[in-house]
């Protein structure tokens, strides 16, 4: 399986990063070793002093597809969860300045915790889901998939032009505003429609 991630998919996050709102989706990937095994703590990598949490809606692909048309994209998933795109912000900044790829900042071991998947309720619009994250019990990120720049279906259509999607692939769909640093001892909890789907202790 592979983990496909979208950067800057919420205007308020692009703004907090002082980045342009993209005209096309920003795509990058994480390896399967970025998945954090369930109930394992997240160990801060020692080569970064500024690891940030990015709360994201995660979509699990359930059919093989290539060059999927947007109108058919909804047939390629039926389960969603919340995940964290952990980002070594200091290293990402360095990569951006040098025009280098982001893997060192984004693809390290454990950088992609994913919560329990839930079936998208019938009639529930994937573009109308509330997601939020608490850090040590206080809300630090909260948003709605209504505010995505590119919808899930547009992302699936876009990405599948270049990359064949396979069963079990995960799509991280970008973070709303409110990203921030994590420290040893922090507990992060991620909610989708007020349901707690993921809890991560930082060590």
Positions in the binding site for Mg ion (CB under 5 A): 54, 85, 175
What is the per-residue DSSP string for the chain?
--EEEEES-BHHHHHHTT-PPPSS-EEEEE-GGGBPPTTPPBPPPTT-S-EEE-EEEEEEE-S-BSS--GGGGGGGEEEEEEEE--EEHHHHHHHHHHT--SHHHH-STT-B-B---EEPPTT--TTS-EEEEEETTEEEEEEEGGGBSS-HHHHHHHHTTTS-B-TT-EEE----S--EE--TT-EEEEEETTEEEEEEEB-
By beta-carbon proximity to Mg ion, the closer residue of 33 and 69 is 33
- CB of residue 56 to Mg ion, shortest distance in Å: 6
- CB of residue 59 to Mg ion, shortest distance in Å: 14
By beta-carbon proximity to Mg ion, the closer residue of 76 and 86 is 86
By beta-carbon proximity to Mg ion, the closer residue of 141 and 157 is 141
Element (H, E) at 35: none
By beta-carbon proximity to Mg ion, the closer residue of 24 and 122 is 24
By beta-carbon proximity to Mg ion, the closer residue of 54 and 153 is 54
By beta-carbon proximity to Mg ion, the closer residue of 92 and 134 is 92
Nearby residues of 189 by Cβ (< 8 Å), 6 or more positions away: 133, 134, 196, 198, 199, 200
- CB of residue 40 to Mg ion, shortest distance in Å: 20
- CB of residue 158 to Mg ion, shortest distance in Å: 16
In the bound state, the residue with its beta carbon closest to Mg ion is 85
Alpha carbon distance 32, 3 (integer Å): 7
- CB of residue 170 to Mg ion, shortest distance in Å: 13
């Amino acid at each position: 399986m592979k983990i496909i991630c979208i950067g800057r998919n919420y205007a308020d996050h692009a703004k907090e990063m002082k980045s342009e709102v993209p005209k096309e989706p920003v795509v990058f990937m994480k390896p399967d070793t970025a998945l954090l095994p369930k109930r394992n703590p997240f160990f801060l990598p020692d080569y970064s002093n500024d690891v940030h949490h990015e709360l994201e809606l995660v979509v699990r692909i359930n059919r093989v597809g290539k060059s999927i048309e947007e109108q058919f994209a909804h047939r390629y998933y039926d389960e969603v969860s919340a995940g964290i795109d952990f980002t070594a912000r200091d290293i990402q900044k360095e990569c951006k300045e040098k025009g280098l790829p982001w893997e060192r900042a984004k693809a390290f071991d454990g950088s992609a915790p994913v919560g329990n998947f839930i079936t998208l309720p019938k009639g529930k619009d994937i573009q109308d889901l509330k997601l939020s994250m608490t850090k040590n019990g206080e809300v630090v990120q909260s948003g709605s998939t209504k505010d995505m720049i590119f919808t899930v279906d547009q992302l699936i259509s876009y990405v599948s032009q270049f990359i064949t999607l396979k069963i079990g692939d995960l799509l991280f769909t970008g973070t709303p505003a409110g990203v921030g640093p994590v420290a040893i001892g922090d507990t992060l909890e991620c909610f989708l429609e007020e349901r707690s789907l993921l809890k991560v202790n930082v060590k």
